[in-house]
Amino acid sequence: MNSWLENMLGQYEPGTIPLEIFTLLLVLGLLIFLWDFFDRKYNNLADESDSLLTLEVLSLKDNDKFPTRSFRSKKLLLKGTPDALVKEGKFTIPVDLVPMSSKVQDRHVVKILTYLRLIEEETNTRPPHGILLMGKKRRVVKVKNTEEKQRWLETLIDEMHSIDEGIPAVPRPTEKKCKFCDVSNICEHRHRS
C-alpha cells in the first residue's frame, strides 16, 4: 500500500467513521488533488501559449497581412528569415515553428540564435530570447540569448566559414543519424559500432 495512505490510515481511530467511508474520503481527496494539479499544469501551458497571442505580430512568413522580413549580415555572411517576428516591449523577438519535432535539438537552438544575432546587428538591440513552437501542439520554448550561447554560435559560424574556404569538414557521425542517412552505404565516415 502507498506509504502516504498507510500513514493516513494509521491515524484512523476505530469507532469514529466506518473504515470504508474513511478510505473512500481519502481516495476522493487524492483524486481532487491530482485533478487540481494537472488542471493547473495545463492552464499554465495554455497561459503561456495565450500570452503569445497577445503579442504584437510584426512579420509572418508567406503572409500578406504581415510581410515576411529577412535579416542579412555582411559581417557574418549570413541571411535568415524567421517564421515570425513579434514585439515584446522594445524587443523584436524571432519565432520559429518546428512542427515535426517536440524535442528541442541543437540545430533548432542554433537557428534561433542566428536570428537573434542578425536582429541584434540590424536593430542595435539584443533580444533577450527567441521562441520555438515545438511539435503539433506548438509547445512554447523560450531560448535565452546569453553570451555563452552566442559564443557557441560564433565557433560554429567560424567553422562554417573555414569549410567554405576549403578546410575539410570534420564529420561527427552518430549511430542514430547514420542509421537513417540515405548515403550511409557509401559514406566512409559512417558510424561503426
Over 37-73, what HEC string results? HHHHHHHHHHHHHHHHHCCEEEEECCCCCCCCCCEEE
CB of 107 to ligand SF4, least distance (A): 13
- Count other C-beta atoms under 10 Å from residue 165's C-beta: 7
CB of 171 to ligand SF4, least distance (A): 5
Residue 189 engages ligand SF4 in binding (rule: CB under 6 A) = yes
Between 1 and 183, CB nearer to ligand SF4: 183
Residue 81 engages ligand SF4 in binding (rule: CB under 6 A) = no
| Of the candidate residues 74, 177, 192, 193, the single one contacting ligand SF4 (CB under 6 A) | 177
Residue 79: what are its φ and ψ, rounded to 5°? -140, 145
CB of 174 to ligand SF4, least distance (A): 7
CB of 172 to ligand SF4, least distance (A): 8
Residue 179 engages ligand SF4 in binding (rule: CB under 6 A) = no
Secondary-structure breakdown of the chain: helix, strand, coil percentages, each rounded to the nearest 5:
45, 20, 40
The residues near 174 (Cβ < 8 Å, ≥ 6 apart) are: 191
Residue 170 engages ligand SF4 in binding (rule: CB under 6 A) = no
Are 127 and 119 within 8 A, CB to CB?
A: yes
Residue 181 engages ligand SF4 in binding (rule: CB under 6 A) = yes
Q: Cell match 536593430: residue?
A: 123
Are 121 and 75 within 8 A, CB to CB?
A: yes
Between 5 and 169, CB nearer to ligand SF4: 169
Cα distance between residue 60 and residue 57, in whole Å: 8
CB of 175 to ligand SF4, least distance (A): 9
Between 126 and 191, CB nearer to ligand SF4: 191
Binding site for ligand SF4 (CB under 6 A): 171, 173, 177-178, 181, 183-184, 187, 189-191
